[in-house]
Amino acid sequence: MVFKDKCYTTGITGITSEGLGVGSVNGFVVFVEGALPGEEVLIQINQVKKSYAKGKVVEILKSSTDRIKPFCGVYGRCGGCDLQHLDYDAQLRAKTGFVKDNLIRIGKLPDVTVNNTIGMENPFNYRNNVQLPVRKGANKSSIGFFAAKSYEIIEGTECRIQHKIGNGIRNVLSDFLVKNGISVYDEQTGKGNVRHLIVRSAFSTGETMVVLVINERKLAEKEKLVNALTSEFPEIKGIMLNINSKRTNIVLGNEYINIYGESTITDYIGDFKFQISPASFFQVNPVQTEVLYKKALEYASLSGNEIVFDLYCGIGTISLFLAQKAKMVYGVEVVPDALKAAKRNARINKVSNVEFRLGKAEEVIPAMYCQGIKADVVVVDPPRKGCDERLLQTIVEMEPRRMVYVSCNPSTLARDLKYLSEYGMKVEEVQPVDMFPWSGHVEAVILLQRAER
């Protein structure tokens, strides 16, 4: 047993995807913030639960050879990155371990081939989308990131994982708000106008979009703001206001007002062109997105004669990659705006062998199957909650030759693979891809084949 506020010495044997070291005290599992595998640490317990405890490092008695100095001055306070104290190669090894552990523990799949995580040559400034809360501080407006588990704004001079232009735009906006006396949002009262700054950047074209989320339907001195931003950053293609007057932690409202330029920016993944609107889902790491999609296409192993289902297709990014080598691709998406964007992207890229259908995959696919439309290859890229069991059941009944599962959550992935492997699909290979360096998140592409009877 362990006791709150008491100090103990423990060896760290593992690490969680949240960056917590895993140790043991008196046979009790303890998760330790900031500790790394291979270290011996003196810890203070700050939380005790029925089956585990949490603690913080008081002193590192023996340091890991993988420990490095964090590059960010606000690391540990900001709620963003959680692995900056861990060497990048060690992060990749840890992420491979996260996937393996979930497949064994949840999926009951101990013998599946899990390749080493594919990392980035340069794991900095990789994010093409930054959302910065703007809040009222003691004497001025604050623009930064929320502190871990709070609404306190942590301001840093530069965020090394964001596109560099986002840091510059933040600085210009911060000065502008102060000089022009424009009110910013107060979480406690719900008053004040400017709530969030969103910057979306297209890596391949250099185009940038700025969105200001505001509490009212107007913004004072907006023409002056447009001039301030565009004179400093000529790559800005459009500036929009998003109206969100609700007292909610949801960032975006439903209404947009364009105050400068275009309402979309254009980016490429491989040879495909995509128009990105403020609300469009587009992978935030374009370099690794191409790696991820090429692996999905490789695992699909298309000859040109296959009917392919792309489920949770979003704006059609994977669908277009698959259409290069498929007879026909059916994309299914539940978000109407995303589906409209998918159809538009197919037209822009002159891809005619793809058809998009609106609805929940677990409802659309059983209906298509009843109509006699079957897939030779199924690709799924679900949200973090994974696939609905009704969808998995229909896929199993359909007996596709191959299935490619793109996952952003190892635990729900393992759960779904367990179901699929129990009902006729064999998990052949898993390829983790590091989409989010310096965090514990990992994506993976999985190849499944129909098991021989």
Residues designated as active site: 408
Count how many residues are written for the chain. 453
Residue 189's contacts (CB-CB under 8 Å, 6 or more residues apart) are none
CA geometry: angle at 182 spanning 225 and 127, to 5°? Answer: 60
Q: What residue spans of 267-409 are helical by DSSP H?
A: 286-300, 317-323, 336-348, 361-370, 389-398
Q: How far apart are CA 323 and CA 302, in angstroms?
A: 9
Q: How far apart are CA 84 and CA 7, in angstroms?
A: 25
DSSP string, 38-72: T-EEEEEEEEE-SSEEEEEEEEEEE--TTB---S-
AA identity, residue 331: G
225 neighbors 215 (Cβ within 8 angstroms)? no
- Please give the DSSP secondary-structure letter assigned to residue 452: P
What tokens were used for 358?
Answer: 């609106």
283 neighbors 443 (Cβ within 8 angstroms)? no
User: CA of 177: how far to CAs of 165, 214, 246, 261, 375, in Å?
Assistant: 18, 13, 22, 22, 54
CA dihedral 240, 246, 251, 254 (to 10 degrees): -50
Q: How far apart are CA 175 and CA 378, in angstroms?
A: 51
Consecutive H or E run containing 239: strand 236-243
Helix, strand, coil abundance in the chain, percent, nearest 5: 25, 35, 40
- Least Cα distance to 330 among 384, 374, 372 occurs for 374
CB burial of 251-269 (b: ≥16 within 10 Å; e: otherwise) equals ebbeebeebbbeebbebeb
